[in-house]
């Protein structure tokens, strides 16, 4: 079968690209759309560096064939600070020195975003579980876990100050 046009809503924009059969979402994002935040680490689902949100769920973009998610909504790290303003997770990572080489950071942040969407006040165990599929070879994880707990607190405070509900899902309901 020939290559196929794939249409996705990526970071709120409709995007199209041509993909050979079996192209991964990660390749589509990086090589066709120029969105290089998601990283190609192990290419087998073990490292989490390619984590993005597809239809609101954290998934490994290297394990999704693009044909199977044609039409889906994708959010990458580039879409988190779309207006040029770092969000709570990003600023907590920055302030807490939760990045060193930075290779795992995009995946860590997207895994953290997915956690905070479901659970605005996670305990340490829940944070550890949320990033248990994301490898970091620099930090020893401690600063990352602290940053995610800190980000949750910042987001709760920001939402409370704005009089908004703490969970995105409550807004929808």
Partner 1 sequence: MVVEAVHVPDSLAEATAQAARGGHVMAGGTAVMPLVNYGIVPGPELVSLRRTGLAGIEVGDGTARIGATTTFSEVADSPGLSVFRPAVATIASPVIRNMATVGGNLLTDPPGDFATCLLALDATCEVAGAGGSRDVPVAEVIDSGLRPGELLTAVVVRLPAGANWFYRKVTRRRMNSGAIMTIAATVETAGGLVTTARIALGGLAPRPVRAASAERALAGRPLVPDVVMEAGEAARADVTPADDPFASAWYRNRVLPVHLRRALLG
Residues near partner 1 (CB under 8 A) are 1, 20-22, 24, 43-45, 48, 51, 57-60, 62-65, 67-70, 111, 114-115, 128-130, 132-134
Q: Which is nearer to partner 1, 10 or 111 (CB)?
A: 111
Least separation in angstroms between residue 55's CB and partner 1 is: 10
Cβ–Cβ < 8 Å for 92, 86: no
Closest distance to partner 1 from the beta carbon of 128 (Å): 7
Helix (H, G, I), strand (E, B) or coil at 81: coil
Task: Give the residue with the Cβ less far from partner 1, 60 or 152.
Answer: 60
Structural contact between residues 25 and 52, judged by C-beta atoms closer than 8 angstroms: yes
Do the bridges between strand 73-75 and strand 4-10 make them parallel or antiparallel, or are there none, so unpaired?
parallel
CB of 20 to partner 1, least distance (A): 8
DSSP letters spanning 5-62:
EEEEEETTEEEEEEE-TT-BHHHIIIIIS---SS--SSSSSSS-TTEEEETTEEEEGG
Nearer to partner 1, 77 or 130 (CB): 130
Q: Closer to partner 1 by CB, 91 or 119: give it.
A: 119
């Amino acid at each position: 079968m020939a290559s196929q046009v794939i249409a996705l809503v990526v970071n709120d924009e409709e995007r199209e690209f041509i993909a050979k059969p079996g192209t991964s979402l990660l390749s589509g994002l990086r090589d066709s759309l120029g969105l290089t935040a998601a990283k190609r680490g192990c290419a087998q689902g073990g490292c989490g560096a390619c984590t993005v949100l597809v239809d609101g769920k954290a998934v490994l973009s290297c394990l999704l064939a693009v044909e199977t998610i044609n039409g889906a909504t994708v959010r990458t790290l580039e879409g988190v600070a779309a207006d040029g303003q770092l969000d709570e997770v990003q600023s907590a990572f920055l302030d807490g020195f939760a990045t060193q080489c930075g290779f795992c950071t995009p995946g860590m942040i997207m895994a953290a975003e997915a956690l905070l969407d479901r659970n605005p006040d996670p305990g340490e165990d829940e944070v550890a579980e949320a990033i248990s599929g994301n490898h970091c070879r620099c930090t020893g994880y401690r600063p990352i876990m602290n940053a995610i707990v800190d980000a949750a607190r910042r987001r709760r405070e920001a939402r409370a100050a704005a009089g908004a509900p703490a969970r995105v899902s409550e807004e929808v309901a």
